[in-house]
Structure 1
């Protein structure tokens, strides 16, 4: 997913202390087995029309975990953090992670502190039961010079410190530009991993987004063992028209495309440090988004997840 297709939000304040029962369940599940969920951007139109009914359909398919892609004015899909947590609880769903872009406006360089908007983001994430607060984008203005980029990686680490106070972790999700853009002769993706503290900043590897920019997921996992706590599980095909992110490819039902998905996720589980496998499909060919979500889950189950 990319920023032009999202209206992520920017609000946040200090952290909620204490460990909830919800988070205890999440920690226990993470220790016991990998977690399989779905990024709700996969069914974005359905979530926009009927969040409650759509989540009920996902639960009926067998999904236990979801990842949000909509936090606006301190609300998740129109619900406050406490309301959305209640909705998830009532359906037997947990939300260990969510996407909210952390941008330049969230860091006050003069005060060397986060704005209230980002602090509220972290607070609400804790209230709803997240373990990871993931930013799925890096402003273009922050990746034009090496010095600006390096300085913002320090902000990434500071966001990790802020999230840690609430028992969570900050994370970053890649797209394509991290593999096509270089600063000082190095790919942005390499610079991100080299300049973030893995104890504070988790990496969510999107195994499909990188493909048209020359990124090969298997190679990346081998290059950085243990660095990918979360993965976006995605397959790709050549797009009939314009592809996603302006490239020539678009996502499809798992197992139907050109990404060796099972090899990648197996390697992630074995040596990549991956415990959270989040299905994401953004294009659907001749199927509906919910039909695709059902087929994706069926394929992951067939692969043993």
Structure 2
């Protein structure tokens, strides 16, 4: 197995309390890679913590699509040694029509060119609504992908794609090498949550049914997602462990996912 990463958002409370201690604890689990979020807002702190723990950050999340100054975000990514910057979230109300898909794709394509000028890749991370929301019977995600420039990369959140009704392994196979990373995430998949969407302001302001999907997430291999098939469908993709929420000790959940990957991920590229 190639070295997996972990989305630092999973331990956001610990990060807010003591970023150095939180990153060090992830390193103790065995992680040598991490995926920071909103990294441009605390670049110096993250660089210090990552360096001290011997952890690299090949990818990171930031709200680039709506940023007034994307160059500042890309500069921060370079400071942290990233190669890939991912926008994690455009709300569901902006994924409704074919024009919406075209508008977002056009912006992503332009940002990809800006990132490339700094030696970076740029792409997008999905939730469930990009698959739940349909245009002429097709997931709007498909329309979006069809309009992306070749240089644009994708990070597929395999849990949320599954919640949205997608066959995640099939999606990964169709996207091929464009998939630079996947979020390895497991949990309870309930048809009742497929069409329950968050507010337009935040992916974290959600109805009760969707909140359950957050809290009922599990370590890899312990839920309803066919994680093994997902891994096999994207051998080239960086594996990024993530929890949106967890009922138990999230560090323990992350450790269990790390151990499961070590035992079961035989497809990962070196």
- TM-score category by the smaller chain? 0.7 to 0.9
Aligned residue for 1:301, secondary structure, equals helix
Q: Hey, what does 1:281 align to over in structure 2? A: 243
1:156 corresponds to which of 87, 103, 108: 108
Aligned residue for 2:4, secondary structure, equals strand
Q: Quickly say closer, same or farther: Cα 1:202–1:53, change in 2 above 3 A.
A: same
Contact 1:67–1:98 (Cα < 8 Å) also in 2: yes
| Per-residue CA distance 1:29-80 (angstroms, 9 max, x = gap) | xxxx744110111111111111110111111111000001234xx423xxxx
| Per-residue CA distance 1:151-184 (angstroms, 9 max, x = gap) | 3311101110111111110010010111111235
Matched, 1:258 2:258: no
Contact 1:99–1:135 (Cα < 8 Å) also in 2: yes
Matched, 1:127 2:79: yes
Contact 1:69–1:100 (Cα < 8 Å) also in 2: yes
Contact 2:98–2:143 (Cα < 8 Å) also in 1: no
Question: Aligned Cα RMSD in Å?
Answer: 2.3
Distance apart, 1:248 and its partner CA:
8.9
Distance apart, 1:213 and its partner CA:
1.9
- Larger strand percent: 1
Q: Hey, what does 1:170 align to over in structure 2? A: 122
Contact 2:32–2:54 (Cα < 8 Å) also in 1: yes
Matched, 1:294 2:261: no
Matched, 1:268 2:230: no
Structure 2: 5+ residue runs without aligned partners?
191-206
Q: How many residues align?
A: 250
Structure 1: 5+ residue runs without aligned partners?
1-32, 107-114
Q: Quickly say closer, same or farther: Cα 1:248–1:302, change in 2 above 3 A.
A: closer
1:135-284 pair list within 5 angstroms: 135-140=87-92, 142-199=94-151, 201-237=152-188, 242-244=208-210, 250-269=216-235, 273-274=236-237, 276-284=238-246
Distance apart, 1:196 and its partner CA:
0.6
Contact 1:238–1:249 (Cα < 8 Å) also in 2: no
Aligned-partner Cα distance in 2 for 1:249–1:84: 27
Contact 1:134–1:170 (Cα < 8 Å) also in 2: yes
| Per-residue CA distance 1:99-140 (angstroms, 9 max, x = gap) | 112344x3xxxxxxxx3x221111111111111110011244
Contact 1:37–1:67 (Cα < 8 Å) also in 2: yes
Q: Hey, what does 2:26 align to over in structure 1? A: 58
Q: TM-score, normalised by structure 1?
A: 0.75
Q: Hey, what does 1:23 align to over in structure 2? A: none
Aligned residue for 1:232, secondary structure, equals strand
Contact 1:212–1:248 (Cα < 8 Å) also in 2: no
Aligned-partner Cα distance in 2 for 1:174–1:160: 17
Aligned-partner Cα distance in 2 for 1:245–1:119: 34
Q: Hey, what does 1:69 align to over in structure 2? A: 37
